[in-house]
C-alpha cells in the first residue's frame, strides 16, 4: 500500500499571505504541512546589517514566521489562531549572500501552546541559525492589542 503524502498548504498560503513581513523580506514558503514548514529567502541588501552580513533579526524573523505557520496550520482546524510568546534564536554562522533555506518542525503541539524548532541554512547547507518559538493558541473570540483576532481566510 502506498504511503499517503501529508497535505501541503504552501500554495494557498502564498496567495493568502502575499504582503506583510514575508512580502517585504521576500520570504517564500515552499512546503507547509502539519509536521514541517520549509521556506527560502534570496539575500539582498535589505537583509544585511552594517558589517555586510545577514541581520540577526532576519534569521529570528524567518524562524518565527515558519514556526507560526506550522503552529497555525495545527490550530486552525480547532478554530484557534496562534501568537508567538518567545523566540530564542542563536546565530551560528555569518552569511553575506546567496539563498537561505529554513525548516521548522514541532517539538510540542498542545491544545493551549505549541513549541516549534527552526533551522536556517546557507547555500552549502551549513547551519546559520537555530531557534525555538513558543506559541499560544488563542480562543476564537480572543482579543489581542485591544482588537478581536480575525482568523485568516481559508
Q: What's the pLDDT score for residue 17?
A: 65
> Burial level of 87, CB count in 10 A (0-12/13-18/19+)?
middle
Query: Tens digit of pLDDT for each residue in 111-138?
Result: 899 999 999 999 999 999 999 999 999 9
The arithmetic mean of pLDDT across residues 10-29, rounded, is 81
Rounded to two decimals, what is the model's pTM? 0.89
Average the pLDDT over 57-79 and give the result: 96
147 versus 87: the higher-pLDDT residue is: 87
Residue 105 CA to residue 36 CA, distance in Å, equals 5
When pLDDT is cut at 50, 70 and 90, the band that residue 15 belongs to is low
154 has pLDDT over 80: no
Closest residue by Cα to residue 104 from 148, 66, 135, 146: 66
Q: Measure the CA angle with vertex 9, ends 6 and 15; round to 5°.
A: 165
* pLDDT level of residue 151 (50, 70, 90 thresholds): low
Rounded Cα gap, residues 133 and 131, in angstroms: 7
| Predicted confidence band of residue 5 (pLDDT cuts 50, 70, 90) | confident
User: What percent of the chain shows pLDDT beyond 90?
Assistant: 76
- Most confident range, picked from 8-12, 13-17, 124-128: 124-128
Amino acid at each position: 500500500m502506498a504511503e499517503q503524502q501529508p497535505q501541503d498548504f504552501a500554495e494557498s498560503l502564498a496567495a493568502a499571505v502575499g504582503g506583510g513581513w514575508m512580502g517585504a523580506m521576500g520570504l517564500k514558503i515552499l512546503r507547509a504541512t502539519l509536521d514541517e514548514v520549509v521556506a527560502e529567502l534570496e539575500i539582498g541588501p535589505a537583509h544585511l546589517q552594517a558589517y555586510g552580513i545577514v541581520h540577526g533579526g532576519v534569521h529570528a524573523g524567518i524562524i518565527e514566521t515558519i514556526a507560526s505557520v506550522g503552529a497555525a496550520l495545527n490550530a486552525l482546524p480547532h478554530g484557534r489562531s496562534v501568537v508567538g510568546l518567545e523566540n530564542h534564536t542563536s546565530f551560528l554562522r555569518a552569511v553575506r549572500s546567496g539563498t537561505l533555506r529554513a525548516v521548522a518542525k514541532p517539538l510540542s503541539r498542545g491544545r493551549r501552546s505549541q513549541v516549534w524548532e527552526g533551522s536556517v541554512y546557507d547555500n552549502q547547507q551549513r547551519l546559520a541559525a537555530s531557534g525555538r518559538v513558543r506559541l499560544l493558541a488563542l480562543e476564537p473570540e480572543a482579543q489581542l492589542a485591544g482588537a478581536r483576532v480575525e482568523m485568516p481566510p481559508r
